[in-house]
Structure 1
Amino acid sequence: MKRRSRTSKSMSDDEHRQLPKYSIGVVSQLVGIPPQTLRRYEEAGLLDPARQDGKNRLYSDENLAILQEIAELADQGVNAIGIRHILQMRQQVIHLEQEVNEVRTRLLHIQHTEYVLDVSNEDQEQS
């Protein structure tokens, strides 16, 4: 029997973190949060787990990390609205940091290109 060759590439780390794979019961045990509380967090818009056939919730590693943040903030007395704002601000900070890094990379590239052009022009003038 021949095996089919797989043409699909392997998943990136980011794709693997976003892959839904844990049921609500497993997540409840892993994070130490009752299933009812997990459902309330979803109702409050704090996270959005995937749905299996439109029914069962499936959580990813990324969802677990968010749930741990939510639990820490809740333990500090932050309510659901405050938690949502904090999570949104953290995402905005991450996005802005990525933009800053992209701009820095572009700037370094431009500076390098300008330097190469300057050196090339100086060489041509000396010839």
Structure 2
Amino acid sequence: MHDQNRAVYVISVAAELAGVHPQTLRIYERKGLVAPARTGGGSRRYSRSDIDQLLRIQELTNEGLNLLGVQRVLQLENDLANARAELETQRQESLRKIEALRQEAEGHLRAQRRDLVPLRQEVVLYRDVRPGSTRRG
């Protein structure tokens, strides 16, 4: 499986994959829309994630957004993804806590059942002991 974040594409290949001119990629970088890795010599290297980001930028600009609008949309999408991840983390933690409480409650219930003493029932015949009553028995 190819690592999505491994920066392997030079600027000309990244531009071709994204369907834009290399100069456009330099503009996007200056505007903070994409942040390619740099080699020791300073050359840009783009990852598959960067290419996906470039395609998203192209999609938004083709819909009529300017680069400031694209930047805002990308930030909102990132914020939403982070909020969803946090919500999922909290949901998982809540489920763990609920399960722990359920197990604790079951333990208490088992302990209470062990403490119960069986009731021994005997049959008692009723006798009417009032004066003048007929005694049966």
Q: TM-score, normalised to structure 2's length? A: 0.79
Q: What is the percent sequence identity of the aligned residues? A: 29
- Rounded to whole Å, the distance in 2 between the matches of 1:92 and 1:54 is 33
Larger radius of gyration: 2
Greater relative CO, 1 or 2 (CA 8 Å, sep 6+): 1
| Greater Cα shift, 53-62 or 89-98 | 53-62
- Rounded to whole Å, the distance in 1 between the matches of 2:112 and 2:75 is 55
- Rounded to whole Å, the distance in 1 between the matches of 2:32 and 2:41 is 17
Q: Secondary structure at the match of 2:102?
A: helix
Counterparts in 2 of 1:38-77, with a 5 A limit? 38-77=25-64
Shift of 1:53: 2.0
- Rounded to whole Å, the distance in 1 between the matches of 2:8 and 2:70 is 25
Shift of 1:55: 2.2
Q: TM-score, normalised to structure 1's length? A: 0.85
Q: How many residues align?
A: 114
Give the gaps of 5 or more residues in structure 2: 115-137
Q: Secondary structure at the match of 2:20?
A: coil
The partner residue of 2:20 within 12, 27, 33 is: 33
| Greater Cα shift, 34-43 or 50-59 | 50-59
Shift of 1:54: 4.4
- Rounded to whole Å, the distance in 2 between the matches of 1:69 and 1:37 is 14
Structure 2 residue 105 is matched with structure 1 residue 113: no
Runs of 4+ in 1 over 6 A off after TM superposition: none
Q: Identify, as 1 or 2, the structure richer in helix.
A: 1
Q: Identify, as 1 or 2, the structure richer in strand.
A: 1
Q: For 1:33-73, what per-residue CA distance to the aligned partner results, in whole angstroms no more than 9, with x for missing partners?
A: 11111111111111111111242110001101100100000
- Rounded to whole Å, the distance in 2 between the matches of 1:62 and 1:30 is 12
Give the gaps of 5 or more residues in structure 1: 1-11
